[in-house]
Amino acid sequence: VNIERSVLAADIVVFGFRPEPPTLEVLLIKRRYDPFQGAWAFPGGHIEPGEDAEAAARRELYEEAGIQPGYLEQLYTFTDPKRDPRGRVTSIAHVALVRTDQFSPTAGDDASEAHWVDVRTAMDEVLAFDHHLILEVALTRLRGKVRYTPIGFDLLPKQFTLLDLRRLYETILGKALDASNFRKKVLALGLLAEVNQMHMGAHRPATLYRFDKRAYDRAVKGGFNFEV
Amino acid sequence: VNIERSVLAADIVVFGFRPEPPTLEVLLIKRRYDPFQGAWAFPGGHIEPGEDAEAAARRELYEEAGIQPGYLEQLYTFTDPKRDPRGRVTSIAHVALVRTDQFSPTAGDDASEAHWVDVRTAMDEVLAFDHHLILEVALTRLRGKVRYTPIGFDLLPKQFTLLDLRRLYETILGKALDASNFRKKVLALGLLAEVNQMHMGAHRPATLYRFDKRAYDRAVKGGFNFEV
DNA sequence: GCAAAAGTGTTTCGTATACACCCATGC
DNA sequence: GCATGGGTGTATACGAAACACTTTTGC
């Protein structure tokens, strides 16, 4: 029998969060080679022999942009046979979350540039292949997942104030949240631990918190329901 | 450059619901050929040239079991390079929902048998390839999705009683629901339309309802949040 | 003093939950 | 009559939302 085979690619939508001003960003690279040379695209590349999709995503992310994400998961697989002009390329898309401040992206082999781009800007941009569609799916997933999973913390520095956290949620969800109620709700979850240090800014000093992974694991074991 | 290519397969976890006794079932076929000849597996097969994954899933489902599902979506892509002993086969797994009564599965080319199997039984069974893992992922997805999306209706006949619907939810979620509160909650959503007919069973006649797709679409447009 | 954020407290309201209770049917 | 499900109603409690108010800092 004559069975068609496909090239496998792992692409990664990397989200980052910049607190000042509050901005949700994605990592875009400028393609050095054809097809779509010079166009903006997500980092990604071929899956190698003996490698599964997630391993390929991590490797590509490190090679192309020097990034080792705190969070990475498979998003969706894009299989339109015409999505790549060269022939059948199946893209197994991933979502990754990083602390923007930790990585100033470095352009790797296939990229002439790598930049953090405001998500709203990226949505208006013409992207290579079907990457615009991939971005839409990734955003939907992020907005959904952030509501019942504590993945937001992977976008913040280890220590953060409640204002940081609230700004993050407001940015992702695209709506303002009541500061007072947000504080009570989040603290009531018992997933934050105070850090013995204050944030000194332009205003009244604020308590610094860290995400309490241990408390979270305990809560998960007890059949637990995270909600914003 | 020497780029590895992979065979692409579309596999489908088809869920069905049998009201009496309330049972959540999956469709399993007995493999006619090696590898795993004689083992139970999900229907599926190769994606053909010019075909995307979802089209392949629909085609395979029809060819192998005579089923045209009311609901079908991509689930997850399984990429372990060792998941198939013959070489690299990437499985793009799907979830489908059907009304059990509408399809008595027929065994197609690759299957010597096709049967509805109680999900709990299937979970204890040894399945071909990594299909046991696929089933776990599919079940998690179904349980999650049923809570905020009205996909449950795709598992019921066009007309159903509130008891049918409650039994369905109780079976999927694995816990008893208060009949009175369930009624109020579901009716308050305004997604059910009364049918001008009663269900005559062994007890007091019950109102028959149908899923009101029009009302649902209207609700979705208004930025709507479905909950059990 | 003023602006901006930190932090506490209160009131209101909707709705989830837990039941009590009556109705209608087949056996 | 009795079991079973259909269907209505109610009391309670908890949590979400709205918002008033005080505190603390930099400028």
pLDDT digits (tens, 9 = 90+) for A134-169: 999 999 999 999 988 889 999 999 999 999 999 999
A226 touches chain B (CB under 8 A): no
Q: Considering only CB atoms, which chain B residues are within 8 Å of A88?
A: 49
Token digits for A175?
């709506």
The residue from B48, B113, B136, B194 that is catalytic is: B113
pLDDT in tens, A84-107: 999 999 999 999 999 987 777 777
Inspect the interface and report whether the beta carbons of B4 and A74 lie closer than 8 Å: no
Tokens 């615009």: give the residue: A132
For the segment A173-185, the average pLDDT, to the nearest whole number, is 95
Q: Phi-psi region for residue B50, left (φ > 0), alpha (ψ -120 to 50) or beta?
A: left
What pairs with residue B18 in β-bridges? Answer: B23
Inspect the interface and report whether the beta carbons of B46 and A3 lie closer than 8 Å: yes
Residue B1 has pLDDT above 70, yes or no: no
Q: Are B74 and B54 in contact (CB under 8 A)?
A: yes
- Residue B224's pLDDT is 66
Nucleotides of C under 7 A from a protein CB: 3-10, 16-21, 23-27
pTM greater than 0.75 (yes/no): yes
- B225 pLDDT tier (thresholds 50, 70, 90): low
Give one DSSP letter per residue of chain A, joined into a string: ----EEEEEEEEEEEEEETTTTEEEEEEEEE-SSSSTT-EE--EEEPPTT--HHHHHHHHHHHHH----SEEEEEEEE--TTSSTTS-EEEEEEEEEE-GGG------TTEEEEEEEEHHHHHHS-BSTTHHHHHHHHHHHHHHHTTTSGGGGGGS-SSB-HHHHHHHHHHHHTS---HHHHHHHHHHTT-EEEEEEEE--SSS-EEEEEE-HHHHHHHHHT------
Q: pLDDT over 90 for what percent of chain B? A: 74
Find the residue closest to C9 using CA and C1' atoms.
Answer: A180
| Residue among A101, A108, A7 at smallest CA distance from A48 | A7
pLDDT in tens, B167-185: 999 999 999 999 999 999 9
A92 touches chain B (CB under 8 A): yes
Inspect the interface and report whether the beta carbons of A79 and B52 lie closer than 8 Å: yes
DSSP symbol at B36: S
| Residue among A181, A178, A88, A94 at smallest CA distance from A131 | A94
Token digits for B6?
């992979």
Q: For nucleic chain D, give residues with Cβ below 7 angstroms from it.
A: A 178, 180-181, 185, 200, 202-205, 227; B 161-163, 179-181, 183-184, 203-207
Inspect the interface and report whether the beta carbons of A77 and B92 lie closer than 8 Å: yes
